Structure 1
Amino acid sequence: MPEQMTARPYVLLSAATSVDGYLDDTSDNRLLLSNAEDFDRVDEVRASCDAILIGATTMRRDNPRLLVNSGERRAARVAAGKSAYPLKVTVTASGDLDADLKFWHHGDDKLVFTVDSALDKVKTTLDGLADVVSTGPELDWGLVLDELGRRGVDRLMVEGGGTIHTQLMAQDLADEVHLAIAPLLVGQPEAARFLGAADYPDGSTARMKVLEVRAIDDVVFVRYAPKERTA
């Protein structure tokens, strides 16, 4: 009897950028693009998701805890039969992870996707701090989403970085995009961008559907549906 397929999660990309599309500048200090009200919006979205994913580069650079900060939202999750915090997920092809980072020591369950060549390295480094899964010789986003679906993840929030956002958009795997656009200009070519060069589906020939546009204090928040395109 063939194995029953599990539905992949709904994939939501979330980012705060400058007007010229940068996620950060090149200084040693993190450039804060969102404001307090928008940070609270992000917290609300996190609380609505089953898992939150960031790349290993983002983890090393920002050292985030990646939590739901609101006690009320955590309590609502528990009341709904969920864990207080969403599953935290990262991906790494190099296996260069640090067991001392905050990601591993806050929240509930953690999951790492890697490749065959780095599997033993990741398992040794983390030593039980997270489940570790290889997608084979290369990082395979289809297998990542399949495994998350198998683990009961219905809604996945992806918070970066730019390489991951680019890969998911280029492979047409993003169902929704949340952009908070700050009234700042970075203008540094070497700084991290929300999206890089890629062979995007439909390229410049189709327009994504806009789901929402609103001001959040001095930030403009936009929701897109990447798969709902019109010529």
Structure 2
Amino acid sequence: MTRPHVLLSVAVSVDGYIDDASPERLRLSDSADFDRVDQVRADSDAILVGAQTLRSDNPRLLVDSADRRAARLASGKPEYPLKVTVSASGDLDPDLRFWHHGGGKLAYTTDAGAARLTDRLAGLAEVMSLGADLDFGMLLDDLGRRGIARLMVEGGTRVHTTFLAADLADELHLAVAPILVGDVAAPRFLAAADYPGAPHRRMRLADVTRVGDVAVLRYLPKANNADRRIG
């Protein structure tokens, strides 16, 4: 069994925030970068977001381009990637847009969370318990058994932090927007954690691309990529 390739995707301000503290979502990307993200989604077998992102942003999490969806179908894939979320508590509203758009949905949770979610999401999503606690390695093992080869992770802070702290991320797309937020109450890309090798292990910078007014940095975080030359 092979775990999926894990790609973390995030847009941040120059000072490292992923949103401001207002009720409305801060759009850090421009139209060109949103289109780039749509292509990354179309190239993925599954897209994962955390429960807090669902609650705060209420995203549909779709491939917007009809041409890209048609290309997926032509290649024998489902029209949309599998949509995945993670919630330890199981406190997820069945009215969220996530459940009512696109193709298949899968919610990973704990034994306690499954007791809340199984009936709540009946007919909307498959609910899968990872045991007494959330285990992201077990999550990846399960996705691998389901044939997911490429997983795109779109946040939020806790989810990105967990993948990097557990050394489970193969690739990081960091889109840096020319915006300053400067609000300590706003969410940041990552939280404090015991990151492997930090602060001395360097990620490998594989690519830098200008997309509209955004700089997209592609890093390879794992230790076996850190010392390789770009080429």
Scaled by the length of structure 1, the TM-score of the pair is: 0.96
Q: Distance in 1 between matches of 2:209 and 2:64?
A: 23
Q: Distance in 2 between matches of 1:111 and 1:131?
A: 5
Point out where structure 2 has 5 or more consecutive residues left out of the alignment: none
SS at match of 2:128: strand
The residue that corresponds to 1:40 in the other structure is 35
Which of 148, 157, 163 in structure 2 is aligned with 1:168? Answer: 163
Q: Distance in 1 between matches of 2:19 and 2:191?
A: 14
1:100-123 CA distance string (max 9 Å, x none): 111001001000000011111011
1:37 to partner: Cα distance:
0.3
Tell me the matched-pair count: 226
Q: Distance in 1 between matches of 2:212 and 2:103?
A: 32
Point out where structure 1 has 5 or more consecutive residues left out of the alignment: 1-5
The residue that corresponds to 2:195 in the other structure is 200
Which of 210, 226, 230 in structure 2 is aligned with 1:229? Answer: 226
Which of 144, 149, 153 in structure 2 is aligned with 1:154? Answer: 149
1:8 to partner: Cα distance:
0.3
SS at match of 2:48: strand
**1:12 is aligned with what amino acid?**
L
Q: Distance in 1 between matches of 2:212 and 2:38?
A: 17
1:124 to partner: Cα distance:
1.7
Q: Which runs of 4+ in 1 moved over 6 A?
A: none
Which of 186, 189, 192 in structure 2 is aligned with 1:191? Answer: 186
1:41-96 CA distance string (max 9 Å, x none): 00000000000000011001101000000011000000010000000000001111
Q: Distance in 2 between matches of 1:142 and 1:179?
A: 23
Q: Distance in 2 between matches of 1:70 and 1:122?
A: 31
Q: Distance in 2 between matches of 1:222 and 1:62?
A: 24
Q: Distance in 2 between matches of 1:118 and 1:17?
A: 31
1:135-162 CA distance string (max 9 Å, x none): 0000000110000001110000000001
SS at match of 2:221: strand
Q: Aligned-pair RMSD on alpha carbons?
A: 1.0
Instruction: State the percentage of identical aligned residues.
Output: 59
**2:226 is aligned with what amino acid?**
R
Q: Is the aligned partner of 1:112 residue 2:107?
A: yes
Q: Distance in 1 between matches of 2:184 and 2:22?
A: 13
Q: Distance in 2 between matches of 1:208 and 1:127?
A: 42
Q: Is the aligned partner of 1:58 residue 2:53?
A: yes
Q: Distance in 2 between matches of 1:209 and 1:68?
A: 29
Q: Is the aligned partner of 1:72 residue 2:67?
A: yes
The residue that corresponds to 1:3 in the other structure is none
The answer to whether the Cα contact below 8 Å between 1:206 and 1:230 also exists between their aligned partners in 2 is no
1:223 to partner: Cα distance:
0.3
1:189-211 CA distance string (max 9 Å, x none): 22111111011011011211011
Scaled by the length of structure 2, the TM-score of the pair is: 0.96
Which of 134, 142, 158 in structure 2 is aligned with 1:139? Answer: 134
Q: Distance in 1 between matches of 2:79 and 2:109?
A: 26
SS at match of 1:117: helix
1:31 to partner: Cα distance:
0.4
SS at match of 2:95: coil
